[in-house]
């Protein structure tokens, strides 16, 4: 397995110690709005189906990235994938609202290259249908479907629009803005190779870290919230143990 390193602290001062273009790829998911630091759930405390929202550990500070952050990010990495990029100002990106389902074709027409559109297959509700990621790759903009709506989660990286039938196999969420491990595995398979060095400036739940470990990609992650940092450390250690046991069973078989 490849190296997986995590740092507790602020990502901007930490990046200043990295060399120019030290990382092959930086898939990052920085916070782009205020709210999750004040509550551990989205929407109402009690859902429309009378289910209490999961109460995640609160985030004390939810700081929006500065110009300095983006300067350092582009300095230390050769390529980037930036989730929520449509809420920031950098390069030639000017902030805009995430398109709704009836607006997505027009968005692709106006932005034919450089974007990833994650369709969360979340049906009819008040949440966004999509999440957008800007990439530094000169590739056609495309839609990737992976269900991520409460207990409804995608089956696999390649069949994400199909619901995972066994809820016991669902990813257990530990963070209010957590992304699927399978989502990261899909994109890393597309944009990275084993042995490459990647950077995650906002480690959060550690989904990106676990996916990198599975694919033998050298990973460096930074998280400034101590509770989230320790939660993802625990998750990573448990994941390593499970994966080791699975590989051991396969070898014995």
- Tell me the CATH number at 73: 3.40.50
Which CA distances in Å does 207 have to 18, 75, 111, 126? 23, 24, 28, 25
Q: 147-181 as b/e, with b when 16 or more CB fall inside 10 Å?
A: bbebeebbbebeebeebbeeeeeebebbbbbbbbb
Mean pLDDT, residues 45-74: 70
pLDDT reading at 46 higher than 50: no
β-strands 152-153, 4-8 pairing: unpaired
Structural domains of the chain, count = 1
Mean pLDDT of 154-181: 92
Structure tokens at 253: 């078989």
* Predicted confidence (pLDDT) at residue 37 exceeds the cutoff of 70: no
By CB neighbour count within 10 A (0-12 exposed, 13-18 middle, 19+ buried), where does 26 fall?
buried
Whole-prediction pTM: 0.87
CB of 135 within 8 A of CB of 114?
yes
pLDDT above 90: residue 50: no
pLDDT at 210: 96
Give the pLDDT score at 22. 98
**Does the pLDDT of residue 154 top 80, yes or no?**
yes
Cα–Cα distance measured from residue 228 to residue 53, given in angstroms and rounded to the nearest whole number? 19
The Cα–Cα gap between 204 and 226 comes to 10
Least confident residue range of 28-42, 128-142, 202-216: 28-42
Query: Residues 148, 120: contact at Cβ < 8 Å?
Result: yes
- The overall average pLDDT reported for the chain is 87
In this prediction, residues 168-179 reach a mean pLDDT of: 91
**Token code pair at residue 2:** 């490849």
Residue 87 CA neighbour count, 13 Å, CB half: 15
Instruction: Give 94-110 pLDDT, tens digit per residue.
Output: 999 999 999 999 999 99
Q: Which domain holds residue 132?
A: 4-252
Question: What does the alpha-carbon distance between residue 207 and residue 211 come to, in Å, rounded to a whole number?
Answer: 6
């Amino acid at each position: 397995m490849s190296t997986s390193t995590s740092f507790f602290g602020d990502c901007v001062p930490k990046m200043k110690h990295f060399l120019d273009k030290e990382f092959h790829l930086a898939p990052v998911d920085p916070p782009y709005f205020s709210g999750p630091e004040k509550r551990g759930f989205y929407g109402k405390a009690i859902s429309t189906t009378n289910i209490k929202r999961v109460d995640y550990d609160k985030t004390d500070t939810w700081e929006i990235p500065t110009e300095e952050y983006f300067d350092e990010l582009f300095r230390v990495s050769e390529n980037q994938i930036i989730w929520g990029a449509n809420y920031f100002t950098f390069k030639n990106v000017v902030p805009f609202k995430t398109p709704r389902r009836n607006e997505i074709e027009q968005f692709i027409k106006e932005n034919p290259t450089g974007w990833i559109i994650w369709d969360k297959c979340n049906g009819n509700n008040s949440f966004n249908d999509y999440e957008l990621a800007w990439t530094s790759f000169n590739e056609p903009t495309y839609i990737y479907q992976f269900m991520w709506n409460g207990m409804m989660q995608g089956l696999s990286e390649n069949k994400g629009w199909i619901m995972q039938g066994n809820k016991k196999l669902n990813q257990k969420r530990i963070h209010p803005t957590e992304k699927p491990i399978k989502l990261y595995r899909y994109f890393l398979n597309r944009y990275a190779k084993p042995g490459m060095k990647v950077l995650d400036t906002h480690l959060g739940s550690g989904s990106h870290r676990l996916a990198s470990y599975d694919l033998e990609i050298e990973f460096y992650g930074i998280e400034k919230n101590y509770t989230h940092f320790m939660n993802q450390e625990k998750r990573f250690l448990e994941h390593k143990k499970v994966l080791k046991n699975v590989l051991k069973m396969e070898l014995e078989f």
